[in-house]
């Protein structure tokens, strides 16, 4: 196993290298205003036999979880996904992915029966996708935290019971803002990355026994001859167990994800009803790179209780009135009539291109997205509270280069929307801001049938149908009684000739 721990300081950071202490047990230093990323890399033969055998059933597997609590980022950790658990998988054998995906979420099933629709087939859904594998599947579920996944990982014995440091690191995943797990046959490794947001934190990294641990403490910088599509950092590097003093570092690398200076918020307009409108408030209409070809997009991940009617977004006049340009992608299938409790699919995804007002002032503006709610199960109060995850909002710009972004040591892929763009696109992410509280979720109370009135609705419906049928029958009998039944006499050929 290999471990990499990276601290990235915020703007204006100041750090004294002499304050670091490197020993065989680990590295310690003063408190820093910094973000932190831990990345663990396992070879397949280092994993428990059961888990390793399970992974062999995949060509690729990517799990990405984002917390519903608001957090701040710094480059190079600026990429965003909607809060919740996203699962991308390409099975190498039929239905090989069932056990692992079910262990992370019991709602994710893939069989030959009706439950197959619980996952979306990317090749069927992505009309404009450039990299979608015909056998790739996608699943999403709202997930508040990773406590269930961490406990399940403990069952698979990723850490020996005697290794308290490994156990501590595993438990720390439940406090992270994002966690990624990636496996590919080509690499033969499984990578687990966890990110903690920008805040004051202690520089304290314990060395895992008999493992290689690399620690980096960086701040944003601009090395000589840096290219526009690159990010630069400077700082210190240390390999625990091999060095007693950190080494200075200054380097640059291509980066497809950047942090924009703009921000956005999301809320439902009131009154909402069963056809709510989701409004995005965006702080600026200025693109991040004035001389590049850029377009602003919002990538939505909708749970199954709410959806967008893609036919509604084909009217250009309608789109213009909402400050929208076009619907660039909508997943399929989306049943427009089924209630939520009979819908097998987890939900849907939509990529909208927004239309910022033309202005040189960089002023705030809004865009609106009409949506539709499915019927939910009755409740005692007559309302059911729901939350819709914030979208990922970003400027997609042409990088104007053929750089290999995969050489970025912090690169993040398989985010859902990145496969809908050219591989040379750069994404400038807007920072989500909660409308209230600390959650990057849009809440709403959905009107439903009260459970106390369920029986009366059934009785009333039966009574209405019965009275309607009786009224039609009464009218038919009245006509018969008044005029009787008179059959029209048949016309013979002689009668026709006489005429």
Question: How do residues 281-320 score in pLDDT, each as one tens digit?
Answer: 999 999 998 878 999 999 999 999 999 998 899 999 999 9
Q: Specify the pairing of strand 58-66 against strand 257-268.
A: unpaired
Q: What is the pLDDT of residue 120?
A: 64
Instruction: Judge whether residue 455 has pLDDT over 70.
Output: no
Determine which of 93-97, 103-107, 284-288 has the lowest per-residue pLDDT on average. 103-107
pLDDT band at residue 272 under the 50/70/90 scheme: confident
pLDDT band at residue 484 under the 50/70/90 scheme: low
pLDDT band at residue 491 under the 50/70/90 scheme: low
Instruction: Judge whether residue 117 has pLDDT over 70.
Output: no
Instruction: Judge whether residue 147 has pLDDT over 90.
Output: no
pLDDT tens column, 236-253: 999 988 888 889 999 999
Other CB atoms within 10 Å distance of the CB of residue 202: 10
Instruction: Check: CB of residue 27 under 8 Å from CB of residue 240.
Output: yes
Please name the residues in contact with 441: beta carbons below 8 A apart, sequence gap of 6 or more: 68, 83, 387, 388, 389, 390
Residue 143 CA, chain-centre distance (Å), reads 11
Determine which of 129-143, 174-188, 417-431 has the lowest per-residue pLDDT on average. 129-143
């Amino acid at each position: 196993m290999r471990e990499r721990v990276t601290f990235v300081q915020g703007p204006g950071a100041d750090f004294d290298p002499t304050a670091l202490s490197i020993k065989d047990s680990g590295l310690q230093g003063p408190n820093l205003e910094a973000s932190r990323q831990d990345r663990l890399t396992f070879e397949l033969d280092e994993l428990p036999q059961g888990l390793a055998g399970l992974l062999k059933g995949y060509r690729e597997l990517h799990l990405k979880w984002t917390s519903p609590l608001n957090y701040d980022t710094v480059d190079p950790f600026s990429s965003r996904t909607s809060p919740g658990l996203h699962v991308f998988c390409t099975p190498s054998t039929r239905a090989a992915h069932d056990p692992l995906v079910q262990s992370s979420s019991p709602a994710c099933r893939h069989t030959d029966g009706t439950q197959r629709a619980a996952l979306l087939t990317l090749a069927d859904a992505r009309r404009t996708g450039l990299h979608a594998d015909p056998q790739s599947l996608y699943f999403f579920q709202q997930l508040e935290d990773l406590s269930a996944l961490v406990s399940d990982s403990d069952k698979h014995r990723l850490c020996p019971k005697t290794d308290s440091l490994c156990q501590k690191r595993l438990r720390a995943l439940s406090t992270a803002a994002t966690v990624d797990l990636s496996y590919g046959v080509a690499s033969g490794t499984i990578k687990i990355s966890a990110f903690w947001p920008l805040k004051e934190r202690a520089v304290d990294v314990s060395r895992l026994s008999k493992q290689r641990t690399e620690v980096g403490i960086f701040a944003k910088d601009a090395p000589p001859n840096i290219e526009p599509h690159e990010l630069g950092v400077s700082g210190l590097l240390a390999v625990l167990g091999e060095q007693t003093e950190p080494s200075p570092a200054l380097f640059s690398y291509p980066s497809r994800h950047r942090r924009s200076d703009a921000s956005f918020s999301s809320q439902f307009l009131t009154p909402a009803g069963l056809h709510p409108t989701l409004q995005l408030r965006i702080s600026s209409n200025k693109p991040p790179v004035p001389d590049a070809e850029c377009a602003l997009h919002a990538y939505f991940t909708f749970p199954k209780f709410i959806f967008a009617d893609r036919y509604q977004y084909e009217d250009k006049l309608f789109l213009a009135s909402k400050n929208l340009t076009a619907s660039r992608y909508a997943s399929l299938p989306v049943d427009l009539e089924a209630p939520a409790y009979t819908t097998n699919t987890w939900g849907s995804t939509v990529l909208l291109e927004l239309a910022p007002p033309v202005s040189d002032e960089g002023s705030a503006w809004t865009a609106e997205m009409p949506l539709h709610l499915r019927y939910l199960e009755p409740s005692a109060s007559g309302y059911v509270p729901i939350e819709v995850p914030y979208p990922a909002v970003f400027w997609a710009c042409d990088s104007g280069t053929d750089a290999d972004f995969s050489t970025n040591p912090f690169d993040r892929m398989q985010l859902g929307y990145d496969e809908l763009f050219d591989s040379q696109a750069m994404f400038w992410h807007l920072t989500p801001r909660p409308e209230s509280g600390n959650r990057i979720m849009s809440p709403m109370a959905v009107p439903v049938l009260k459970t106390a009135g369920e029986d009366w609705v059934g009785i009333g419906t039966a009574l209405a149908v019965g009275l309607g049928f009786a009224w039609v029958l009464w009218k038919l009998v009245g006509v018969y009684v008044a005029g009787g039944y008179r059959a029209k006499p048949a016309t013979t050929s002689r009668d026709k000739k006489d005429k």
